[in-house]
Amino acid sequence: MLAEIKGLNEECGVFAIWGHEKAAEMTYYGLHAMQHRGQEGAGIVTSDKEMLYLHKGNGLINEVFQEGEFNRLRGSAALGHVRYATQGGGGYENVQPLLFRSQRNSMALAHNGNLVNAYALKNQLEAQGSILQTTSDTEVIAHLIKRSGHLAMEEAIKQALGMIKGAYAFSILTEDKLYVALDPRGLRPLSIGKLGDAYVVASETCAFDLIGATYEREVKPGELITIDDTGLTTTSFSSQMQRTLCSMEYVYFSRPDSNLDGLNVHASRKTMGKQLAYESPVEADVVTGVPDSSISAAIGFSEASGIPYELGLIKNRYVGRTFIQPSQELREQGVKMKLSPVRGIVNGKRVIMVDDSIVRGTTSRRIVRLLKEAGAKEVHVRIASPPIENPCYYGIDTSTKGELIAANHAVDDMCEIIGADSLAFLTTEGLEKSIVNESNSHEHGICKACFTGNYPTEIYPNTVLPAYKE
């Protein structure tokens, strides 16, 4: 669905490369492939083995970087980041990578996720004299690393990682090394690839495809990888746990051409759609999906049900982010600007509208209304994920329970609120069956906390929820 008006966003995308003469340019293209993961800020840090060079700014990657910037980003190693502001809010100072200079060495950090004990750690650091320069929880890891200044860098990082809790995929670039780490539960995606002799790290494998890199493997939960001119070495900073990769990566966030834990995102969404058709069939004339992330599930629903798939909704590709406005009147107009019903397809038809999720229900209500205004005789809404009844503390900006429609209304009430003729969700069992199966179950699993309320980590009393957007 349309993330800008839907109220469901990911924190960021991380990309890094070591050993390529065009490191900055490759990082730019890798971030461009992951622009969907964050549109509020972008940055790249490079290393020429003697110094780190930074350029970052607010906006899309092609707004932040012009050709001249690459001449100043020297070196064969780079770390990049695209950001959606959740924990800590927006502002230039929070755009990553965060660069920290010191007399001994410098380091740049990029992070995808959210630290659930950041509040407590910030209080502890400030009590010990640290002065935090940003409101981002990413800065915490830098202070923890530097506090262990007597240790070698790898040991300092391991010690710092042992103190933080939550979801994180970290990349840390120094003058002479690149470090990569994934939280012990593997809540966030992170993969390793090769481009010739260069090593590449990315939140999504679609970044590898764009630059011509080959996928090597996933970063393992609790793993710390060190990359330098001698190659790649790996160690563990935590005992191995059952992986609980965020299920919303499969449902909504990741690009359909990416692979997560060896499973193609498009294929998994098709399977969700098929499972949804088996669980909640309905008589209708056409199936349509809400662009873009719901198209795969709609195709799967169509194949399983035998009801033809049609493009009943078209997304306008040329509406800029500046149109997003807070007023209700402009929100209504915003949906019409971004989505157009195909009257010739839906007029007089019983339509099954497949979507990936419902957060507050306001956007679903507007889309149902659009289809009925275009002449749809019936609109049956099918959601290719379970009801979101609980907030996420791991870097996704789902709201408090009070603003989640499924946490406060039964399905029949939700159906009436959005104006649909029927409404059904994929079951939690159906979701897990669609993603984790016998062929990929080894060391694999998904986090379902937003659906079930069973969080895979401890949740601290002062955990700050990411800012909510609708």
Catalytic residue ranges: 12
Specify the 3-state DSSP secondary structure of 172.
strand
- Residues 249, 204: Cα–Cα separation, whole Å: 10
> Among 167, 166, 41, 114, which residue's Cα sits nearest to residue 467?
114
Euclidean distance between CA atoms 160 and 143, whole angstroms:
9
Residue 414 makes CB contacts below 8 A (sequence gap 6+) with 358, 361, 405, 406, 423
Say how many CA atoms lie within 13 Å of 32 toward its Cβ.
Answer: 13
- Region of 75 (left: φ > 0; alpha: ψ -120 to 50; beta: rest) is left
> What residue type is assigned to position 307 of the chain?
I
Give the pair of three-digit tokens for residue 74. 């020297």
**One-letter amino acid for residue 302 of the chain:** S
**Taking a C-beta distance cutoff of 8 angstroms, is the pair 345, 289 a contact?**
no
Q: Is the peptide bond before 97 cis (omega within 30 degrees of 0)?
A: yes
Residues near 165 by beta carbon (within 8 Å), at least 6 away in sequence: 115, 116, 117, 457, 458, 460
